[in-house]
Amino acid sequence: MTRFVENHISPEMVALWLLELVLSFSLAYLLLSTGSLAAGMQPTVVNHSLILALTSGFTAFAIGLYRPEGFRRMRGLLLNTALGGALAFPAVWLVSRALGIGVDQWIGPDALWPLKVGAAWIAALFATRLLFLMAVRSNLLVRPIALLGAPSAMATTIAAIRGGHEGFYEVVVGPVANGGPAQLRAAGIRDAVLPRSALLAMPPREQASYAAQGVVLATEAQFWERCLKRVDVTGVDAAWVARLDASRRFSDLLSRTGDILISLAFLAFTLPLMLLVALAVRLSGPGPVLYRQERVGFGGQPFTLLKFRSMRVDAEARGPAWATQRDPRVTSVGSFLRRTRIDELPQLVNVLQGTMSFIGPRPERPHFVEQLAEIIPHYRERARVKPGLTGWAQVNFPYGASVEDARVKLSYDLYYVKHRGVLLDLAILFSTVRVILFQEGSR
């Protein structure tokens, strides 16, 4: 678990989550102690406060309140926090019902008491997040990363750090970066990145001098995976691909069992909705309700993907094309289905059949796979695992509509192929809730 947190979650966000968890518990305890639970029921107050704090904390995490990029804009920060508060209390009610706690036990001295609790909790989150935002804008949380070597030779890594949202990093190059371990330590730099060839050529004594100064040396590939949660596609070679473990029997068996059970449950739960959607698609214009399209699946084998039709029947009269913003080929009903991801629901059948999984790289069309494989090295390696309804690339990068977008998404897909597991799958599922709620990347 500790290794998972280090590899997949920003340490700054973990610290903020723990701080707000303690704040939520303290606030809940203070408010509940003044309500109907106060008289002789202190253990119950503690338990209820813990339920409130944990449920609201995990709800906030699920909708993406602990993503570094959420602290770059004031408006988004405030809106996300308000939404977190609005969703936390229905979640608390559901958890309470599951634990057999009656609603009456949450009622305070007046009918407006739950509203007061919600307002106080949101206000407390606003305060801590505004302070955190001020710290971010004052560069108090910046982690300098020294790049040892010529900037031109590490241009891809520089661009990834400056254009990414995975952490609070600042690139340090030039005399300070190349001044030696003592100068790095004096400048407060604890991480240094260099090309793999340079690290292999560095004498052991020199490597030891960096370690003695508390400076951690890492290759570009190691830094990408540990800190950016991506794979440097330009640095992937045949040896790296050969080390990929594509067969994890227990994990794959557990994933397949979960796929069957969850797809059956979702199909039963969403059947009424899908019937209504089918009627809406039928009334929206001529054409079939379901859209069948050939995609590339596990091992490069083709399969038929199912979706609710969201485009006109003549959408690809001129051949396959990527979707664009405000695509004129999308119907009025299809626009809503795409924004809410409801058009993907028929793929639950694909999951049940075994041609897809819940988590994995999104399946691409053979036409685009052939094009991209000619341009992007190792593009076909994403087919080492089953394609998914959602994936690491989908929750970290918006909809791709160009070769460069495909290259970036591949860097996330290859990271998932290498690091996939139950905990990473759960993190992706949580993040998918955020993507759907905020309609990120839909076209």
Q: What is the pLDDT of residues 70-129, one digit of tens each?
A: 666 676 677 777 777 777 777 777 777 777 665 555 555 556 666 666 677 777 777 887
pLDDT tens digits, 135-179: 777 777 778 889 988 888 788 888 888 776 555 788 888 888 788
The DSSP annotation for 362-406 comes to PP--HHHHHHHHHHSTTGGGGGGS--EEE-HHHHHS----SHHHH
The whole-number pLDDT of residue 411 equals 93
pLDDT at 386 over 70: yes
Domain boundaries, the chain: 2-137, 143-228, 249-437
The percentage of residues in the chain with a pLDDT greater than 90, rounded to a whole number, is 26
CA distance 121 to 23: 9
Residue 338 has pLDDT above 90, yes or no: no
Report if pTM > 0.85. no
CA distance 270 to 190: 51
Quickly list DSSP for 168-212.
Answer: -EEEE-STTTTS-HHHHHHTT--EEEE-HHHHHHS-HHHHHHHHH
In this predicted structure, the answer to whether residue 273 has a pLDDT above a threshold of 90 is: yes
Q: When comparing pLDDT for 66 and 439, which is higher?
A: 66
* Helix, strand, coil % over all residues of the chain, rounded to 5: 60, 10, 30
Structure-block tokens of residue 300: 């490069």
